[in-house]
Amino acid sequence: MYERQNFVKGQKLRADQLNHMEDGILSAVSVNNQDLTPQQQAQARGNIGAVSNEQLEEVKTSVSEGKALVAAAVTGKGVETAANATFATIAANIESIEASGGDIDGLIEGSITEIFSQAAKVTQYTFYSRPELVSANFPLATSCGAYAFYACTQLTSIYLPKATSIGPYSFRGCWKLPRISFPKAETVPSNSIYGCTELEIADFANAASVAAQAFYNCYKLKALVLRYDGVVSLANTNAFANCHWLEGTANATYNPNGERGYVYVPRVRILQYPLSTNWAALGFQYRALEDYTVDGTITGELDEAKMNATGGGSGGGSGDIM
């Protein structure tokens, strides 16, 4: 049974008190709907006052809609919250955002440079143009929205092991990223890695397609790792425009000797890539993954000693295509 409580203006309410208020509203509706015994109705009316059923329904609707808006906002911050969740659940989820996502005010003022979060997803624009952000770790996130890390110019480390999707422009302009690995991402969207000028290794274990301008202006990209079992679809040759190492073009700053990078693919596909749409037009050099991983498998980590042993343009692996 709901029992009346008095609150002082400006008082910070706890989750259990919010739930108590909700119970009171529901109790009032029940009273006016004649769901309680006469004695219970009299007691409840004494506690909350006799008001019309229409007024109570209006209050109930207002609270329900307000709760849904808060729940949607919490979900938007990466913590899934149902519209009909209790206030206690919503409060706990909000605390989860604060506890796992870091001090947002600190991030804005520049005192927070590393983010660790157990959020279920990274929503679009979450870290848009945060030059102070150096490291971001999201071990549970299954998606990364468009523009999520756009222009995070000091970002050097990103960890999204469970993300099956990354959005367009998600890492565009992350100049300092030296290496990326997205083991679950199913596509490489347009402009997603555009302008990562220090990027040298990009590893996509599950991507079945690469969109236009995906790696545009990745000047130092030396190794593109595609572990997908089939031939990855390439939408347009401009996906690698100005990737001087992959193009094998000399550049005074990024590739002064005109050396070539490599595309690493499963050995069974190595002869198919040069004959495939758009891949053929690029004239890339290809290497069999199995020859350059630590354990000699498609899924193994790249062995950088093996990668560098043969030099930029000399080839060497048994599965290389020059």
Q: What domains does the chain contain, in order, with CATH numbers?
A: 15-92 (no CATH), 103-309 (3.80.10)
Q: What is the model's pLDDT at position 88? A: 78
**Per-residue pLDDT tens digits for 210-241:** 999 999 999 999 999 999 999 999 999 999 99
CA distance 246 to 224: 9
Averaged pLDDT of the chain:
81
Q: Which of 18-22, 70-74, 112-116, 204-208 has the lowest mean pLDDT?
A: 18-22
What are the tokens at 177? 């990223």
Q: Which of 6, 29, 27 is nearest to 17 (CA)?
A: 6
What are the tokens at 81? 């919250």
Q: What is the model's pLDDT at position 103? A: 45
Q: What is the model's pLDDT at position 274? A: 92
CA distance 99 to 115: 11
Per the CB < 8 A criterion, the answer to whether 274 and 286 are in contact is yes
What is the pairing mode between strands 209-210 and 165-166?
unpaired
Q: What is the model's pLDDT at position 2? A: 47
* pLDDT > 60? residue 252: yes
Per the CB < 8 A criterion, the answer to whether 154 and 129 are in contact is no
Q: What is the model's pLDDT at position 40? A: 63
Per the CB < 8 A criterion, the answer to whether 156 and 136 are in contact is no
CA distance 51 to 28: 8
**Per-residue pLDDT tens digits for 130-140:** 999 999 999 99
Q: What is the model's pLDDT at position 87? A: 79
Per the CB < 8 A criterion, the answer to whether 64 and 56 are in contact is no
**Per-residue pLDDT tens digits for 265-300:** 999 999 999 999 999 877 778 999 999 999 999 999
Q: Which of 231, 148, 233 is nearest to 191 (CA)?
A: 148
* pLDDT > 80? residue 4: no
3-state class of 17 per DSSP? helix
For residue 282, give Cα distances in angstroms to 242, 243, 247: 12, 11, 7
* pLDDT > 50? residue 29: no
CB atoms within 10 A of CB 237: 15
Higher pLDDT, 103 or 186: 186
pLDDT band (50, 70, 90) for residue 74: confident
CA distance 16 to 304: 56
Q: What is the model's pLDDT at position 268? A: 96
Q: Which of 23-37, 142-156, 169-183 has the lowest mean pLDDT?
A: 23-37
Question: What type of residue is 153?
Answer: T
Across 33-38, average pLDDT: 56
Higher pLDDT, 212 or 320: 212
Who contacts 147 (Cβ-Cβ below 8 Å, separation ≥6)?
Answer: 124, 125, 128, 167, 168, 169, 170, 172
For residue 171, give Cα distances in angstroms to 113, 131, 144, 214: 17, 12, 10, 10
Residue 244: is it exposed, middle or buried by C-beta count within 10 angstroms (0-12/13-18/19+)?
Answer: buried
Per the CB < 8 A criterion, the answer to whether 315 and 321 are in contact is no
For residue 289, give Cα distances in angstroms to 83, 165, 186, 264, 266: 47, 23, 19, 5, 5
Q: Which of 214, 208, 226 is nearest to 287 (CA)?
A: 226
Q: Which of 121, 79, 114, 72 is nearest to 96 (CA)?
A: 79
DSSP 285: -
Q: What is the model's pLDDT at position 312? A: 44
CA distance 131 to 51: 55
